[in-house]
Structures are given as C-alpha cells and as structure tokens.
Amino acid sequence: MKAPILTPLATALPATVPFTGPETQERRQGQPFIARLGANESIFGPSPAAIRAMQAAASEAWMYGDPEVFALKAALAAHHHCAPENIVVGEGIDGLLGYLARLIVEPGTPVVTSLGAYPTFNFHVAGYGGTLHRAPYKGDHEDPAALLALAQQTQARMLYLANPDNPMGSHHAGAAIQDLLANLPEQTLLVLDEAYIDLAPAGTAPEIDPDTPNLIRFRTFSKAHGLAGLRVGYAITSAPLAQAFDKVRNHFGLGRIAQAGALAALQDQAYLSEIRAKTTTARTRLSGIARANGLIPLASATNFITMDCSRDGDYARRVLAELLARGIFVRMPGVAPLDRCIRVSLGDETALAAFEAALPEALKAAG
C-alpha cells in the first residue's frame, strides 16, 4: 500500500487543527510562556477535594474506569434534578460533540451555527460531511433570531448556540433560549453549549425539562471546576437521545482518575462559590488593564475578557503576535468583524501583572 486508504470525504477534508496549543507555540519559540492566558483554563486550579480524590485514584489506575460512569452520572442527575438516563458523560464537550455529529450528521445534512462561533463543532460536522450554514453575530452576541430563520430556511437538523458565548464572552437570558427552543422547526435539534454557565449571571440557564426531545445541553468540568486536563464533559438531554450515545461512544474513554476528580469537584460546591468570587475580581482587574491601555473590555459572563482593539483584524493580529513574542499566550476571534478583538483568559495576580506589563509594549509595537 503506497498511501493511507482514506474515504473520499476524508481525502477532501483539509488537514486542520481547530486550535494551536500553547505547547506547540512554546516549542516553536523555544521557550515557555510567562503567562498562559489563551485557552480559557482556570488558573485558580481544581478543588482541593478533587485533587485528593485524584491522588487516591492514582493507585487504581491499573484498572479501566467504570464504562457506565455510574457514580458520576448519578451525582450529576441528582444535581440537575433529572434521571441518570438523561445524562451522557464523555471526553469533554469536544468529544461529545463528535459523538453527536456521528449520530445526526451524514453527507449533505444541513446544520446551522454562528459565523465565528466555537470552531470545534464545525470541525465535527464537516468531518461527517454535513453542510454548515452560518448566521452572523449581531454586535457582540450570537443572534438567536437569525439562527432560527436560517434553521427554518435550510430545514437544519441541528442548530448550535453557545450561551455564554466563546469567543465574545456575551450571553443571552434563559428566556431567549426558551423562546428559540419553542419556535424551532420540528426536525431541528438545539445544541446548547453551556461550558461557561457556572460563571454566568443568574437567569442565564433556561428552565427546561430535561426530557425535552429537541434539546441537548452540554456542560463541562474544564472551566469553573478547573479540570481542563481531565477532559470530562457531560450532556443533559432526553433519555432516547442520551441512550443513543451508547451506540457510538468510547465506553472506556474516561479513566478512573478523571471520574474520581469530577465527582469530587461536583460535590464541592463551596469551592465553586469561591471560584465565582475570584472570577468576579479577576474580571474587574483585567477590564481595568484593558481600559488603561485604550482597549474596550466587552461585558463577560465567562472566565475571559474579550477586548475590542477598535481597529481591524490585521491590527489585532499584530497585537496578538507582539504579546506572544513577549511570552504572553492569548488568542483572538478568527472571523471579521469579531477579529478586531483579542481574547484574554482570567488569571491570578502574577499572570495578570505580566499581561499588564506586556500590553502597552505590544500595542506600541503593533503600531
């Protein structure tokens, strides 16, 4: 065999990676970053209880994790006042989106999302041959009305919406999500990405029956719980759709350490309250740094601040490059007009002070 025997679809796909990791950039630059503020990780770290649970589970790492993820599913069901049959647990939201695409998408399947929204969803849809239709943002927000109109026009099988949103950090009230859901075409599934919901204002999460058949909600332990390195995410959805994941998921995808850490993190709600308080403080601090340097910090319901550079994408890319050259890892939206901004994750005082020192130099160098 001279070359890998790929399907025509796989052959036609570009060799793309949705995100270039900071480790890759460090290898290219030949030195580590001073401040890691680009991946929306929680620099505040996980709950001490979660760390202890993971340490205890480490000695059992010779065993596979429970393929039914029984204890964590039961705890999540109790937390969300639903049945375990409404819960799917998997390798982060990204992994679960891949399974969902495998279940729903085939070549030509119409799917609706926002132009510039979280790209991993698009990556999975394209990987199964779906046809993506994109509605532009309305200002700094995803536009539910435009998404709905596009779903109706295209008879989309899925409509993806992140609330709160990445990369802009904006959010819609839960009532807007409920209104969108009530008006969806009959064949459309609302894919609601709530990765940042633990950090959002009260009322952002809609009050919706878990057994609603045209909705799947995704949550994660990567953000507020500080466990991005474990890759544990979960979905809340109707029992038939949740059970369908068993047809395609990796049943041994979550190891024992990951399951133990996520369970302990979920049970430590007091620590989560501490993280919310630290998030509020860091948002204020980071927004102040932006304003002091002539940038406009957008209102955020997440663990990052998107900063409007008030010029075009070429200028924002120069600012980004200058920050990277000074050892500050940040990212930016990739699609105009959102690409007038840079996006900076929240951090502790050491990381924010490093960003504060580098930003004026980067802005000056960017011209």
Mind listing the domains of the chain with CATH numbers? 17-45+270-366 (3.90.1150.10), 48-267 (3.40.640.10)
- pLDDT at 16 (0 to 100): 79
Residue 206 burial class via C-beta count within 10 angstroms: exposed 0-12, middle 13-18, buried 19 and up: buried
- pLDDT at 17 (0 to 100): 76
**pTM, whole model, 2 decimals?**
0.94
Name every residue whose Cβ is closer than 8 Å to that of residue 256 and which is 6 or more positions away in sequence.
57, 60, 61, 63, 64, 65, 66
Local confidence pLDDT in tens for the 367 residues of the chain: 577 788 999 888 888 777 788 898 889 888 999 999 999 999 999 999 999 999 999 999 999 999 999 999 999 999 999 999 999 999 999 999 999 999 999 999 999 999 999 999 999 999 999 999 999 999 999 999 999 999 999 999 999 999 999 999 999 999 999 999 999 999 999 999 999 999 999 999 999 999 999 999 999 999 999 999 999 999 999 999 999 999 999 999 999 999 999 999 999 999 999 999 999 999 999 999 999 999 999 999 999 999 999 999 999 999 999 999 999 999 999 999 999 999 999 999 999 999 999 999 999 999 9
- pLDDT at 168 (0 to 100): 97
**With contact defined as beta carbons under 8 Å apart, do 198 and 40 qualify?**
no
Q: What is the sign of the dihedral through the CA atoms of 137, 297, 203 and 201?
A: positive
Name every residue whose Cβ is closer than 8 Å to that of residue 37 and which is 6 or more positions away in sequence.
43, 328, 329, 330, 344, 345, 346, 347, 351, 355
Name every residue whose Cβ is closer than 8 Å to that of residue 94 and which is 6 or more positions away in sequence.
120, 231, 233
What is the Cα–Cα distance from 112 to 109, expressed in whole angstroms?
A: 10
- pLDDT at 15 (0 to 100): 85
Spatial strand order of the sheet with 233-237 comes to 87-90, 233-237, 215-220, 189-193, 158-162, 110-114, 131-135
